[in-house]
Amino acid sequence: MVTDEEGFVNTMGDMLAIWHLPRTTGRVYGYLLLRGEPCTSDRLRAELRMSAGAVSTAVRDLVSWGLARTIPQPGSRRLLIEAAGGFDQLLAAGHERTRAFVRVLESARPLADDDRAARRLADVTALFTAYLEAVAGFRRP
């Protein structure tokens, strides 16, 4: 497990990469999770040693996933950024991708060459459908 802030931030980068988000996005999220107050993009850039473009892209990714929010500053174009709870949104997005995958599998039924291919396709579809059914009742305590 991680023992310091830098280790946590880097591990979050690796973990969110599993969800097909850029490692830099995960690092920004990890950093934001540890902050009690919202941060400026300048602070993120300096603390994480990232370019302005990388920070901007990471913040956009996090906001689109519901993992962060931006806070406008009156009289300024600058925004503050803070982590949002977001785990529910992350799971929902993953589940929607799985539902889309199941829809594609189901649409391929008439394309199977023979019974063997049709059974294999049905088995894969059933596996992902069972996964969706199993997680449908998942609720955070």
**Residues 87/140, Cβ–Cβ less than 8 Å:** yes
**Quick one: which of 29, 70, 28, 26 has its CA closest to 48?**
28
Please tell me the predicted confidence (pLDDT) of residue 64. 85
**pTM over 0.85, yes/no:** no
Chain-centroid distance of CA 106 in Å reads 26
For position 47, what pLDDT does the model report?
A: 95
* Interatomic CA distance for residues 56 and 41, integer angstroms: 7
pLDDT along the chain (141 residues), means of 10: 87 89 94 94 96 96 88 90 77 80 92 94 94 75 51
Q: Rounded to an integer, what distance in angstroms lies between the CA atom of residue 70 and that of residue 17?
A: 22
- The answer to whether the CB of 89 falls within 8 A of the CB of 67 is yes
Chain-centre distance of CA 101, in angstroms? 17
End-to-end CA distance of the chain: 24
| Selection from 75, 130, 141 nearest residue 98 by Cα | 130
- Alpha-helical runs (H) found in the chain: 5-18, 23-34, 41-48, 52-64, 87-107, 115-136
Q: What is the pLDDT of residue 92?
A: 74
